[in-house]
Amino acid sequence: MPKRFTPDEYAAGVLSGNRVLLSRAITLVESTLPSDQALAHAVMEQVLPQAGKSVRVGITGVPGVGKSTFIEAFGNHLLEQHGKKLAVLAIDPTSQRTGGSILGDKTRMETLSANPNAYIRPSPAGKTLGGVARSTRESILLCEAAGFDVIFVETVGVGQSETAVHEMVDFFLLLMLAGAGDELQGIKKGIMEMADAIAITKADGPNLHPATSAQAEYQGALHLFPLGKSQWSPKVTVCSAYEKSGLGPIWDSVMEYVQLTQQNGYFHHRRQEQNLHWLRHSIRQQLEERFYQHPAVQAQWETISNQVTQGQKSPFAAAAELFQLLP
Amino acid sequence: MPKRFTPDEYAAGVLSGNRVLLSRAITLVESTLPSDQALAHAVMEQVLPQAGKSVRVGITGVPGVGKSTFIEAFGNHLLEQHGKKLAVLAIDPTSQRTGGSILGDKTRMETLSANPNAYIRPSPAGKTLGGVARSTRESILLCEAAGFDVIFVETVGVGQSETAVHEMVDFFLLLMLAGAGDELQGIKKGIMEMADAIAITKADGPNLHPATSAQAEYQGALHLFPLGKSQWSPKVTVCSAYEKSGLGPIWDSVMEYVQLTQQNGYFHHRRQEQNLHWLRHSIRQQLEERFYQHPAVQAQWETISNQVTQGQKSPFAAAAELFQLLP
């Protein structure tokens, strides 16, 4: 087991912006050991008053959309043009299968990761969605306490983690390719309606024209959709990480969103709702874990769930039957 | 307490298409009395082998879209042109507030309700979403066992019940108005991406032109969205309940959808997934009910959830704290 510090040591390290201690604290919140979790709770308790002062941006898009190069270019833009301190948390549910694709390529985000005002942290593979959600959410807070004022949370856009990420960020940015077929677009149904902005990537050279056409189409389409409670009307832009073009307008959108929602109260309200969401979510997960791992349920689950799936038993009767197995 | 029959009597009555017994059986599945629920499980067990042989269509749209007149016209079209037997289950979460709006107006669906091949049943007001979901889902099965081969499940399109309905139907139809402002459209974010078809209503007289423009816009917008696992590309049509126009194409869409998804296996697969969804949903609900109603949790909930909402306590630490209160 790696060395553990006291809660005070972790908290002091994180709050002073010490990157080694920040990384260790994130490792702690990622741990599933009960002793580590208790320690993590104590650390979080101490850093919480200093957290919350960042803009949290979720960034998603399917493989091939150019997420890494976009984040590198967009991140450098924020550091150089706006003097921001940026943390990038990357969730890669596929890395278990691909052997750690997300940061496996050493050239990925090379200039960004070398910049002292940027901090890049991949999520370890092979954890449950709930585990990833918890550790990512607490990692956001730790990075904020360490002084980072913009947090990117990156997902691959094809899995289940987008909904979870949507519930932990202020602004959700969807990266799309122009003219890609349905296979390439490949994003899950429902993600489009979560987006606060869509950026059409790789809008350079011969791609520029298709990209601006796609921009107009998506902008028209999004106007038909109902506004959310934020009252924000999603923006569609084009950009090129290669030419470093179109990055300013994306950040402008984020800032406009923040200004609008801070004025109408939604920004604060949403964060409070998200806090409550994660409390209820965490309770739900622990309840379900206990239930489904109960030996009596496990012994009957396959038989009963098959009867339900096949339509031989009502789901509600089956649920009642399973509960009767418990003490 | 109203008279109760034996499970055999309910089942025989439903299976013979006796409308009085069907209504009584639905009342039974709507009941929250434990003795009624046990009886309902026994009835469902008997009718299940005869259920499942209908096309289940969810119909939603905001107040003002003309849902009742649409359903009356569309329903009559199915009875007259296609020889269908139609059951309409109406969920109205607002009826508690408005004093039973959904069938309060006696002229609502007058010709349809007088037709012996149609059966109209409102959901009682004042139940939980979970209760409505359970009773509506079992009512679908009862109506199928009673010989109805098309089931409409109607919701008002502004509440939380649409997601639940989406999980119990084969086809989801969204009614929209042309040229209505955001207030009038008023539908919840996310519903658009659930729709298998959108029908622009009231497309008659001076409304016809705006309706066909809206049709083209929505059709263009929906083409940009990713296909779901059904591989179905949502259709947009215009219709007028007043002129009884455009109803045939809507039913054609439903039939095309059924044909496509029966061929590619999605239809059957989806129903199996829905069965499993409701089993897991029902388990989750009972777990959460037990947890949140536990006296130890109730005593601390307000304090702890406030600390979480205000960002003073981590949601995950708070969840752990609440679990420690339980035996």
Run of H or E including B281: helix B266-292
The mean-pLDDT minimum among A199-203, A313-317, B92-96, B154-158 falls in B92-96
Same domain as A222, residue A317: no
CATH number, domain of B8, equals 1.20.5.170
Choose among B189, B279, B312: nearest Cβ to A226: B189
Amino acid A96: pLDDT: 42
pLDDT band for position B125 (cuts 50, 70, 90): low
Which residues, 6+ apart, have CB-to-CB distance to B138 below 8 Å?
Answer: A314, A316, B26, B29, B40, B44
pLDDT for residue B101? 45
Report pLDDT for A106: 40
Report, as ranges of residue numbers, the positions in chain A whose pLDDT lies below 70: 1-2, 92-107, 124-130, 157-159, 180-187
Q: Do residues B173 and B259 share a domain?
A: yes
Rounded to two decimals, the pTM is 0.87
Residues of A in contact with B279 (CB under 8 A): 304-305, 308, 315, 318-319
- Would you say B15 and B50 are in contact if contact means Cβ atoms under 8 Å apart? yes
Between the ranges A51-60, A120-129, B27-36, B173-182, where is the mean pLDDT highest? A51-60
Domain end position, chosen among A264, A288, A315: A264
Name the minimum distance, in Å, from the CA of A149 to any CA of chain B: 17
Q: What are phi and psi of B124, to 5 degrees?
A: -65, 150
DSSP annotation of B260: H
| Domain extent for B184 | 51-264
Q: Note the pLDDT of residue B153.
A: 94
CB contact under 8 A, A309 and B275: yes
Which residue in B137, B286, B316 is closest to A319 by CB distance? Answer: B286
For the cut 50, the answer to whether the pLDDT of residue B258 exceeds it is: yes
Q: Name, in order, each residue with C-beta under 8 angstroms of A38's C-beta and a sequence gap of 6 or more.
A: none
Q: Of A147, A142, A11, whose CA–CA distance to A85 is shortest?
A: A147
Nearest C-alpha of chain A: how many angstroms from B76? 30
Q: A226's torsion region: left (phi>0), alpha (psi -120 to 50) or beta?
A: beta
**B36 plus B60 within the same structural domain:** no
Domain assignment present for residue B272? The answer is no
**How far does A107 lie from chain B, in Å, by closest CA?**
32
Query: What's the number of domains chain A is made of?
Result: 3
- pLDDT at residue B104 greater than cutoff 70: no
Can you tell me the ipTM of this complex? Answer: 0.86
Say if B98 is an interface residue toward chain A (CB within 8 Å).
no
User: pLDDT digits over A111-123, tens only?
Assistant: 898 899 999 998 7
What is the structure's pLDDT at B84?
A: 97
Q: How far is it, in rounded angstroms, from Cα B53 to Cα B59?
A: 19
Nearest alpha-carbon partner for B78 in B212, B307, B203, B251: B251
The domain boundary, picked from B217, B239, B264, lies at B264
Angle at A219 between CA A218 and CA A222, to 5 degrees: 80
Asked if the structure places residue B304 within a domain, the reply is: yes
Question: Does the beta carbon of B44 lie under 8 angstroms from any beta carbon of chain A?
Answer: yes
Contact A284 B288 (CB under 8 A): yes
Judge whether A171 and A58 are in contact, CB under 8 Å.
Answer: yes
Q: Is the pLDDT of residue B189 over 80?
A: no
Q: Are A138 and A48 in contact (CB under 8 A)?
A: no
* Distances in whole angstroms, Cα of residue B227 to Cα of each of A199, A213, A256, B196, B235: 20, 21, 31, 10, 12
Amino acid at site A83? G
**Mean of pLDDT values over B41-51:** 94
**B326 vs A: CB within 8 A:** no
Is some CB atom of chain A closer than 8 A to the CB atom of B244?
no
Beta-carbon separation of B288 and A287 below 8 A? yes
Mean pLDDT, rounded, for B135-162: 89
Q: What is the DSSP string of B189-241?
A: TTSGGG-SEEEE---SGGGHHHHHHHHHHHHHHHHTSPP-TT----EEEE-BT
B255 shares contact with chain A (CB less than 8 Å): no
Query: Nearest to residue A79, comparing CAs of A41, A43, A117, A50?
Result: A117
Please tell me the distance from the alpha carbon of residue A274 to that of residue B309, in angstroms, as a whole number: 8
